[in-house]
Structure 1
């Protein structure tokens, strides 16, 4: 608990002086003002996060948290649970979707087992297993409060280590069969909305089973009565270990004034929990893409943030977040490589 509380305490506001200076430079680059649209906004936000107008995001890392869910037993996922372990291993081998995009973006992939049910080959996977999957949340809390805090602090620890190694831009990713169910539950609680308005097909659940999935979530919420005003309680009652790990990564990146890029639907749930813990975090977050999951719109409305891309993505793993790395880096190149009107000798 101490590490989590200290990390939250260290999260500050954006540096307004740096943002003003960055805005002045961006507006005076050799281009019509505003002609590079949201790329200009990214550059100004990056300056506010880092306190440096001439920001670099040249040491990028995506931290992927992997875990299983006891609610799988309720028939909410179409695929066997062993896929979590297989794909966790595949990430360590560098052969999944997020790994392919990370290679293109020049980013490092860090894979963390926080609660995979089946055996994982830990060669290349960081073993931080809390236990072998959460409990079935329709029967009681998914985890204890202590386990929820531990999952968050694992994310903080891993992220702090990567930043110490030089990472200056962090993305979050996940792997866990049934984690769209847990994420839908979190969003339903925090948004005070009907699970039927949030649930989607996840990794390919037949449409005719969506009603069952929503009813499973409704039962879990009614059983556990998660407190929407207590993010740790929500995580412990209806969340997942990997979601907690992503919350910790968001907290740590913000505390150390590093930009944090979130992925799709599962990461929206993690971001909502992180912002509930400390609202100032929202200014440090970049939403990479609009998830194709049904509840994505509702989640982003709750966050009050707009996605950078809309490509129909719903793979997860951090794949969309890694694609967005390129846009953040483009913003830094705009500031660092373009000259101003004055520097170019143009007088208007």
Structure 2
């Protein structure tokens, strides 16, 4: 699989779909067979069984484990904030990055209890993207640079990667990516974000509709140049960097899922190694999950971002693998019925 740093264009990145690594079908089948032999009725652990099989396919062995979990939070600022779509100033992005680095945010606590190594990557916070409602948010070169940063941040030794984001205004950017990539009306994709009321949501919908009309016909990875933030491009890069190393990925909520819409529309196979950690309270997320054929691991009425829901989902993944690897088989336990 080609490295993003070797790609001179977004078309070259899209062409990586032809060289993707794939899950090991034999390992997944061996894990499925083990599930059938464990001391429980078949299928009684539901999604936990599915997650164990999913991990087995990407690790290439019937007994997968999480030896090292990595969490990456990417942060960026957005020119569309000039339109007043956000109730908080963009300075909050850098302030929250400092909070992450000091260990004071929700994601720090969740990563600690989930056993994930957290890194925060701030992408040119003093240089917001351009306003997508007036023109392209980024040049192709800027997108490629942010994607490369995302890919390079992936630890090759990670067993699983948790992805999250931070960026004032990025719920508007997420709505634009979803609307332009998957269709529908702008109002159906916008939500309260960090606390916008009815008037704020109406403004966001108006700005998103204006941007989608301006960039009509843009598709695939070029959506990142038209609408994206640097943190969303970096998320796409991290997804591809993980895929090259066969590292499974847990995506966070609405903004993180919307960030990979350009990959999904370029080729849905780009996301075969990804699951969505939780269903966000943002109203557009359910619509986005349905369109992408994704079923979230958890529904906890969360809408924080930061990778917080994905970090909680990591705990569920660990539980799935503890059962998969630690339970006795019917033969081992001397229980009839296996």
Q: Using structure 2 for the length normalisation, give the TM-score.
A: 0.93
1:13 corresponds to 2:4: no
CA RMSD of aligned residues (A): 1.5
Are the counterparts in 2 of residues 251 and 274 from structure 1 also a CA contact under 8 Å? no
Deviation at 1:298? 1.4
Which region of structure 1 is more displaced relative to structure 2, 148-157 or 318-327? 148-157
Counterpart position of 2:147: 152
Q: 1:10 to 1:158 in 2, by over 3 A?
A: farther
Are the counterparts in 1 of residues 255 and 305 from structure 2 also a CA contact under 8 Å? yes
The separation in 2 between residues aligned to 1:286 and 1:3, in whole angstroms, is 27
The separation in 2 between residues aligned to 1:216 and 1:276, in whole angstroms, is 22
3-state SS of the aligned residue for 1:64? strand
Counterpart position of 2:309: 320
Counting only pairs closer than 5 Å after superposition, residues 170-185 of structure 1 correspond to structure 2 as: 170-185=161-176
1:34 corresponds to 2:29: no
1:139 corresponds to 2:134: yes
Listed as ranges, the gaps of 5+ residues in structure 2 are: 8-12
3-state SS of the aligned residue for 1:142? coil
Which region of structure 1 is more displaced relative to structure 2, 215-224 or 289-298? 215-224
Which of 168, 181, 188 is the aligned partner of 2:179?
188
The separation in 2 between residues aligned to 1:216 and 1:344, in whole angstroms, is 62
The separation in 2 between residues aligned to 1:224 and 1:49, in whole angstroms, is 37
1:3 corresponds to 2:6: yes
The separation in 1 between residues aligned to 2:103 and 2:17, in whole angstroms, is 33
Q: Using structure 1 for the length normalisation, give the TM-score.
A: 0.90
The separation in 1 between residues aligned to 2:192 and 2:124, in whole angstroms, is 23
1:211 corresponds to 2:202: yes
Are the counterparts in 2 of residues 263 and 287 from structure 1 also a CA contact under 8 Å? yes
Deviation at 1:320? 0.4
Deviation at 1:7? 6.1
3-state SS of the aligned residue for 1:201? coil
Deviation at 1:297? 1.2
Deviation at 1:46? 0.9
The separation in 2 between residues aligned to 1:65 and 1:260, in whole angstroms, is 15
The separation in 1 between residues aligned to 2:163 and 2:16, in whole angstroms, is 17
Are the counterparts in 2 of residues 76 and 178 from structure 1 also a CA contact under 8 Å? yes
Aligned length: 328
Which of 34, 38, 47 is the aligned partner of 1:25?
34
Are the counterparts in 1 of residues 193 and 282 from structure 2 also a CA contact under 8 Å? yes
